[in-house]
C-alpha cells in the first residue's frame, strides 16, 4: 500500500490554504497500520461487532430521543459531576474544577437547552474563576481544595479557592462562544454582552508571529520558551473562531493564524499536542512531538466544522492520514510520535468518539458506538466523559455548527 499525502504549505498570508506535495513514509505507515490492524482484530474478538441493522445505532442505555431537552448523556454527566454550578473532577485528590470543565459544561447545557444549569455554571465560573467579572478578568484555570493553617488556631484546615491563576485560552474561547450563542438563541442581552466583552478581552492578549500570523497565547504565563512561542493546536476549534469573527472582523487574523498553527503542527497528517514556533513562523519539534490526549481534539473539532466552511476541506485533507489509520485499524491510536510515525496501542474508547464525525457512516463508526456503549460517564472519568459527550452529541444530531460557527440543533443529522 502506498500513501501520497498533500499537506499544506501556508507560508503566504495571501493564500493560507495553498497545498504542496508531501510524500508519505510508505513503509513506516504500512508497518504502523498493520500493527494497528492487529490491535483492532484483537478488539473485535473481545468485543461483539455491532450488527448493521436498520435500528437506531445509538447505545440503548442512553437512547431516548433526539430531543435535545432530553439529552441523556448530559443529564447523566451533570448528575454525577455538576455540584452547585461547578464540574468536579472526582478522581483528583483536591476535587478540583478547571476552566476547561466549566467551559465544556456551559456548552453542553446550551446544546441541551438546559437554561437552569447554564445559569448556575456561568455564575459559579464568573464568581470563582473570574474574580467576579468575566469581562475584566480571564478565568483562572484551576480551583480546588488545599490544606492551610487556620489564622486563629494554627491548626491545619481545608481551603477552597483558586490553585493556579493562569488562564487556559481554549476554555476562554468556549465560554465566550457559549455566552454569545446563549444570547442569540435565548435572546438574552446580558449573556450576549458578556460574551462580546470577554471575546474582546481574549483578543487583547493576542500577538503576531511573523510568517504565522496573529495567535493567542495558551495562557498568560509560561508559553514563551527560549525565544519560541508555544502553541496548542487543539485550542483552536475553527467554528468558535468563525463565530467570534462575525462579532468582530479582527478575529479573522486569529482564525488564519490558527489554521496555520493547526496545519504546521500536523505536517505528517497527525497532530502534535504542542508545537513551538519561532519568529519566522517555523514550527520546531513537531516531527519528534507526541500527539495524544490534547491532539485528539484537533480531529474532533475539524470533524465538527461545517462542510460549508472552506476550512473543513483543508483540514480533512491535511488530517487524512489519521482518518485513514483509524478507518483501517478500527480505532485511533493513543499516541503518535511524529518523526517516525510510530503508533501506539489503541487509544481509550473516548478517542473513538473524537473520530466519529469522520467515521459516522462507516463500519468503524458502528464499532465506535459499540465501544462507547460501555464508556463510563461520570466525574470520576471527567476527560473521557466530555470527549464522549462531544463525539456522541454530534453523532446523534444533538448539535452541529453552520459555516459561520453558529450552533444548530439538527435533531438527528443524516
**Partners of 160 in the β-ladder:** 145
> Of 9, 80, 170, 276, which residue is the catalytic one?
170
Cell numbers placing 193: 454582552
> Judging by DSSP bridges, how do beta strands 290-291 and 336-337 pair with one another?
antiparallel
Active-site residue, 170 included: yes
Cell numbers placing 221: 504565563
Dist CA 67 CA 262 (whole Å): 34
Question: What phi, psi does 371 have (nearest 5°)?
Answer: -60, -45
Whether the Cβ atoms of residue 303 and residue 387 lie closer than 8 Å to each other: no
SS3 97: strand
Active-site residue, 334 included: no
Q: How many C-beta atoms lie closer than 10 Å to residue 282's C-beta?
A: 15
> Judging by DSSP bridges, how do beta strands 228-231 and 224-225 pair with one another?
antiparallel
> Judging by DSSP bridges, how do beta strands 400-401 and 342-343 pair with one another?
unpaired
Dist CA 283 CA 274 (whole Å): 10
Cell numbers placing 207: 500577538
Question: What phi, psi does 65 have (nearest 5°)?
Answer: -170, 175
Whether the Cβ atoms of residue 215 and residue 229 lie closer than 8 Å to each other: yes
Nearest to 236 by CA among 245, 248, 227, 226: 245
Question: What phi, psi does 400 have (nearest 5°)?
Answer: -160, 180
Question: What phi, psi does 143 have (nearest 5°)?
Answer: -135, 140
> Of 9, 80, 100, 172, which residue is the catalytic one?
100
Active-site positions?
Answer: 100, 170
Amino acid at each position: 500500500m502506498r500513501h501520497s499525502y498533500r499537506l499544506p504549505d501556508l507560508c503566504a498570508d495571501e493564500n493560507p490554504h495553498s497545498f504542496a506535495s508531501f510524500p508519505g513514509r510508505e513503509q513506516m505507515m504500512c508497518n504502523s497500520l498493520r500493527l494497528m490492524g492487529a490491535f483492532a482484530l484483537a478488539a473485535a474478538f473481545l468485543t461483539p461487532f455491532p450488527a448493521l441493522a436498520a435500528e437506531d445505532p445509538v447505545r440503548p442505555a442512553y437512547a431516548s430521543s433526539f430531543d435535545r431537552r432530553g439529552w441523556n448523556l448530559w443529564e447523566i454527566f451533570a448528575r454525577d459531576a455538576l455540584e452547585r454550578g461547578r464540574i468536579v473532577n472526582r478522581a483528583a485528590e483536591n476535587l478540583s474544577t478547571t476552566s476547561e470543565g466549566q467551559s465544556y459544561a456551559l456548552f453542553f447545557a446550551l446544546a441541551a437547552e438546559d437554561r437552569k444549569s447554564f445559569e448556575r455554571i456561568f455564575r459559579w465560573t464568573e464568581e470563582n474563576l473570574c474574580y467576579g467579572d468575566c469581562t475584566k478578568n480571564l478565568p483562572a484555570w484551576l480551583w480546588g481544595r488545599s490544606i492551610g493553617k487556620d489564622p486563629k488556631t494554627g491548626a491545619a484546615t481545608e481551603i477552597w479557592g483558586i490553585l493556579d491563576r493562569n488562564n487556559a485560552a481554549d476554555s476562554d474561547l468556549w465560554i465566550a462562544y457559549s455566552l454569545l450563542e446563549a444570547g442569540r438563541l435565548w435572546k438574552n442581552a446580558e449573556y450576549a454582552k458578556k460574551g462580546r466583552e470577554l471575546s474582546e478581552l481574549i483578543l487583547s492578549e493576542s500577538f503576531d508571529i511573523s510568517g504565522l500570523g496573529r495567535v493567542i497565547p495558551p495562557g498568560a504565563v509560561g508559553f514563551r520558551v527560549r525565544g519560541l512561542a508555544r502553541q496548542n493546536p487543539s485550542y483552536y476549534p475553527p467554528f468558535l473562531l468563525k463565530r467570534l469573527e462575525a462579532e468582530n472582523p479582527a478575529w479573522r487574523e486569529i482564525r488564519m493564524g490558527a489554521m496555520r498553527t493547526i496545519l504546521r503542527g500536523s505536517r505528517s497528517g497527525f497532530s502534535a499536542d504542542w508545537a513551538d514556533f519561532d519568529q519566522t513562523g517555523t514550527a520546531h519539534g513537531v516531527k519528534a512531538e507526541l500527539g495524544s490526549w490534547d491532539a485528539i481534539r484537533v480531529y474532533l473539532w475539524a470533524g465538527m466544522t461545517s462542510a460549508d466552511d472552506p476550512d473543513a476541506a483543508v483540514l480533512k485533507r491535511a488530517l487524512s492520514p489519521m482518518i485513514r489509520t483509524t478507518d483501517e485499524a478500527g480505532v485511533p491510536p493513543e499516541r503518535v510520535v511524529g518523526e517516525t510515525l510510530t503508533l501506539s496501542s489503541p487509544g481509550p474508547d473516548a478517542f473513538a468518539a473524537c473520530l466519529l464525525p469522520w467515521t459516522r457512516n462507516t463500519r468503524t463508526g458502528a464499532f465506535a458506538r459499540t465501544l462507547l456503549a460501555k464508556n463510563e460517564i461520570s466525574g470520576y472519568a471527567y476527560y473521557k466523559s466530555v470527549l464522549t459527550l462531544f463525539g456522541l452529541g454530534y453523532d446523534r444530531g444533538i448539535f452541529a455548527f453552520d459555516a459561520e460557527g453558529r450552533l444548530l440543533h439538527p435533531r438527528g443529522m443524516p
